[in-house]
Chains A and B, each alone.
Chain A
C-alpha cells in the first residue's frame, strides 16, 4: 500500500482498485458504493487550535467481506476488513456511501490488530453532508492496522425454494432445496462470504428508512438505489459470472456446500467459498438434495374451506428416518413435479409455499385441487323432535337428527389417503360405524385410505340439541 501526502478531500476506494480491476467494472461501480478515506493528522505534536497536518491515504479495497442476510427482515449485516496505515496521534477516517441502503446508525469500526493501541474517540456526521461519517481515531501505533467495519444494509434478501420430484407411485420424492440471494442494495459485493439466517428477529425501526435518512435522526426524501443499466450491465454481468471461472480455477467444480448450524433461536447457513453478487442481480445456489424422502399423497375435503373441491397434499416429515431432519427447513416457495413416464418426463403437480419446518415436524404441502378425487356428501334424512315450549307456548327447544351419506371416489391410478372433515356447531352428538377423530369441539375428521379407482361410502348421524334442549 502506498501512502500519499497530498491535500485532498477524498480518495475513492474504487479509484484505488482501478489498477488491478477490470476498468469497465470500476467505471460502472464508481457511481455506486462506498468511499473510505483516511485523513491522518499528527495532532499530538501540534498546538490545539493550529491547523493540523492532514494526510490522506489511498486505501486498499476490502480484504474480506461477509454478508449475514436475514430472511425475516430487510436486513443484512455486512462485515468487511481492511488494512489502514495509521499515524501516531489523531487519525480521521471518513466513511461515505452513496446510492446504497446503509443504515448510518449501524456503522461500527473495530481494530483487529493493535487493538490496545487504537481507540475510536468519536464519530462525527459532518454538517450539510449526508451519507458520510468521520471517525476520530487515536493511535499509539504507527503502521498498518487491520480493521473491521460493520454495518447494516437493507436491499439484500434471501429466500429458500424447493423443488419436489415425486416418484411415479407418489410414495417418495426427491427434495431439492435452494437458496436465492437477491442484491438490490446498490452496492456490489465481490468475493463475499455469504451467511443466511433462518429465524425471526425484532426490529423497532426499519433499516431501509434509516438508510434513506442518510444520517442519524434526519428525514430525507426517499431515494432508491440506482439499478444497473446500459453499458454498466455488461460490466456487472462479467462481475456476476466471474466467480464461476474462479471456482473452476480452484477446482471447485462441485456445488458449494452450505454449512448449517444452530445459533440460539436461529439457524445459520454458511455458503462455502466466496460469491460475487453485483447489485441488481440475484443468485440461486443448491442447498441440499435428498432422494427418496417418504411422502404420503394426502387429500383433504372440508366444504367450509374449499367448497366442493378436494385438495391435494404431499405430506412428509423433516426427520432423520425420512432422510431429512438435519436442520430446520426455512419457509419458501415449492414447485412440485411428478415423474410420469419411463424417461422421466415431468407432470406438473402444483406450486405452493411451505412455512418454516422445525426438525421432526410433519408438514403438508398444499398443491391445489384435484378433480380426480371426489367427495359427495348427501343429507339423506332430517328429523326434528323433542319440542319444548316456554310459558307463553312458544317453541324454546328442539332436537334435529341429520343422517348423512358420504360418497368418496378415487379415479386416479394411485392409492391415496383421504381426510374428510365435517363441522358441527352447537350441542351435537355423532353416531357412526366409521372411524373418526375429533379435531376440536366442533370438527371431526374421517381419514380413510382409498385404493386406485375405488369408490366407497360411509354414513353418520348427527343429533343436535337446539334452544333450551342444548346442555352445553
Chain B
C-alpha cells in the first residue's frame, strides 16, 4: 500500500545539540476528506492525532510514489491552534519530504489537519437518462466516476463534490469507482427537432438518402424540473427509452425493458439554463425550403460599372410535412448576414430573433400534416446596404 509516510520525531526537553531524536510511532489517519469541487485540482485533507512533547517537536512528512504537490502542503493544529504553532519548515534535498518544527507549550495529544493538492485523482460525471415512452419526462441519474492514479490509497474517505452531503467511500490506488450521486425521476423534457438552413439540405428531392432532422431532448436546470440546486457538471449522457419487453410467459404481462436511443456530451449548465441533448435523427418530418424571390434593388455602381452597393428583396417559402401520428415540435433556424429587416412574416408569433444574424421559428406541427395538408412558412426580408462583405457572426 502506498501512503504518505508521516513520522513524528519529538525532541526531548532541553536537549543539547546535536539533538537526540526520538521517533514516535506513526499516527494513523483519523479522517480523510477529499474535495473534488475544483475543476482542476483535488484537495486532500487528513487529520491525525500527534503526541507532542513540550518544546519543539519535529514532524517529518514524506511521501513516495504519491503525486502530492509539495508546495501546497498546509499544517493546521485543530485542538489548540493558538498554542501549537509551526516555527519553520525544512525541505531536504532530493527527497519528497518536509520537516515541520512545531512548538507546543505542554505535552499533549493534538489533532492536526494536513491539507495538500493531489494530482492523478480524476473525476468524471456520467449521466444515464431513461425516457418514458411518451418522451415527456425522463429519469436522470448522475454518477460520479473517480479514477485514482494518485499513488495514494484513500480508505474510508469523505468525498465532497460541491453539492449534497459528502460521500464516504474507500478508494484504492488504481481503482476506478463509480457511484450514484443523484437520481431525479419525472424530470420534464421537451423533444425538439431542428432544421437549420445552414446545415440541412434545402430540397430533399436532390438528396440520395432520406434527410433526417437532428433530434434533441431539452431539459431545464430549474426548480420546476426538480433541478436548479446546483450547476450541472459536464459529462457524457447515455439516453434510453422505456420499452415493453415480451412477457415472461405467454399471455402474461409484458416485461419492462429499455432501448438505447443515443448519447451526447452534456455541457456545463448553470441554474435556470437549458441543456440540449442531441440523440439522433427523425426522418418522419420533411422540410423543403426555397427562395422564391432574390432581387437586387437600389443598385449603386462605380465608374467602372461595378456594383458597389445594393439592397435585396428576398422571399422564402418553407414547406413542412409531419408524417408522425403525434404533434411534433420543430425549430427552423435561419441565418441572414449583415443589415436586414423583416418585411412580411407568415408566423410572427412563432418568430424569434436570436441575435443580429439569426432568427428562428418555433413550430408545433399537428399530427399527420402532410401532402396537401402541410405547414407552410413564408417570409419576405430585405437586406440593406449590401457590399458583399457582410458579417455573419460575432
Contacts and interface: CB of A to CB of B under 8 A. Distances in A.
Given A244-B87, A379-B357, A392-B302, 17 more contacts: A182-B91, A240-B99, A244-B58, A247-B101, A248-B13, A281-B93, A282-B90, A284-B91, A335-B72, A335-B74, A347-B38, A347-B43, A351-B72, A381-B356, A382-B357, A384-B338, A395-B309
Contact of A337 (B94, B115, B272): B115
A372 B39 CA distance: 11
Contacts of A248: 11, 13-15, 55-56, 103
Contact of B90 (A283, A286, A391): A283
B90 A240 contact: yes
A392 B37 CA distance: 64
A346 B35 contact: yes
A348 interface: yes
Interface residues of B, number: 68
Contacts of A394: 302, 308
A344 B74 CA distance: 13
Interface string B290-308: 0000000000111110001
A340 B338 CA distance: 49
A383 B87 CA distance: 67
Contacts of B248: none
A234 to B, nearest CB: 10
Interface in B192-210: none
Interface stretch (A34-42, A43-51, A251-259, A429-437): A251-259
A371 B93 contact: no
A375 B184 CA distance: 28
Interface residues of A, number: 72
A242 interface: yes
A385 B41 CA distance: 51
Residue in A22, A345, A409 whose Cβ sees the most chain B Cβ within 10 Å:
A345
Given A280-B92, A381-B356, A393-B300, A242 B18 contact: yes
A229 interface: yes
A411 interface: yes
Nearest to A374: B270
Nearest first, the 10 closest Cβ-Cβ pairs linking A and B are A280-B93, A393-B302, A245-B19, A253-B103, A244-B101, A382-B356, A284-B89, A348-B43, A248-B56, A248-B55
B15 A247 contact: no
B93 A227 contact: yes
A182 B355 CA distance: 57
A244 B391 CA distance: 70
Contacts of B152: none
A9 interface: no
Nearest to B39: A371
Contacts of B107: none
A228 interface: yes
A380 interface: yes
A391 B266 CA distance: 56
A230 to B, nearest CB: 11
A252 to B, nearest CB: 8
Interface string A219-235: 00000000111000100
Given A163-B74, A254-B103, A348-B38, A247 B89 contact: no
A285 interface: yes
Given A347-B38, A372-B270, A382-B339, A241 B58 contact: yes
Given A22-B18, A254-B85, A280 B94 contact: yes
Contact of B339 (A245, A253, A383): A383
15 contacts: A180-B91, A227-B93, A239-B18, A240-B99, A245-B15, A245-B18, A248-B13, A253-B105, A255-B103, A284-B89, A347-B35, A368-B40, A392-B303, A403-B356, A411-B231
Nearest to B42: A348
A450 interface: no
A31 interface: no
B339 A371 contact: no
Interface in A61-107: none
Contacts of B33: 345
Contacts of B40: 368
Contacts of A161: 71
Contacts of A409: 270-273
Contacts of B357: 379, 382
A241 B384 contact: no
B372 interface: no
Contacts of A347: 35, 37-38, 43
Interface in B1-18: 11, 13-18
Nearest to A184: B93
A201 B14 CA distance: 43
Interface string B33-61: 10101111101010000000001101000
Contacts, number: 189
Nearest to B9: A241
Contact of A380 (B309, B355, B387): B355
A392 B304 contact: yes
Given A384-B339, A384-B384, A281 B90 contact: yes
A460 interface: no
A197 B167 CA distance: 48
A30 interface: no
B353 interface: yes
Nearest to A346: B115
B303 A384 contact: no
B103 to A, nearest CB: 4
Contacts of A253: 55-56, 87, 103-105
A346 B47 CA distance: 13
A127 B121 CA distance: 60
B91 A281 contact: yes
A221 B271 CA distance: 64
B94 A227 contact: yes
Residue in B13, B16, B90 whose Cβ sees the most chain A Cβ within 10 Å:
B90
A368 B89 CA distance: 28
A421 to B, nearest CB: 16
A184 to B, nearest CB: 8
A355 interface: no
B270 A411 contact: yes
B305 to A, nearest CB: 9
Contacts of B273: 409
B159 interface: no
A247 B89 CA distance: 14
A119 to B, nearest CB: 39
B130 interface: no
Nearest to B43: A348
A394 B91 CA distance: 72
A24 to B, nearest CB: 9
Nearest to B40: A368
B385 A387 contact: yes
A233 B92 contact: yes
Interface in A1-40: 22
A379 B45 contact: no
A345 B87 contact: no
Nearest to B89: A284
Given A256-B87, A382-B391, A346 B43 contact: yes
Contacts of B38: 347-350
B394 A379 contact: yes
Nearest to B230: A411
B353 A380 contact: yes
B308 A395 contact: yes
A398 B390 CA distance: 13
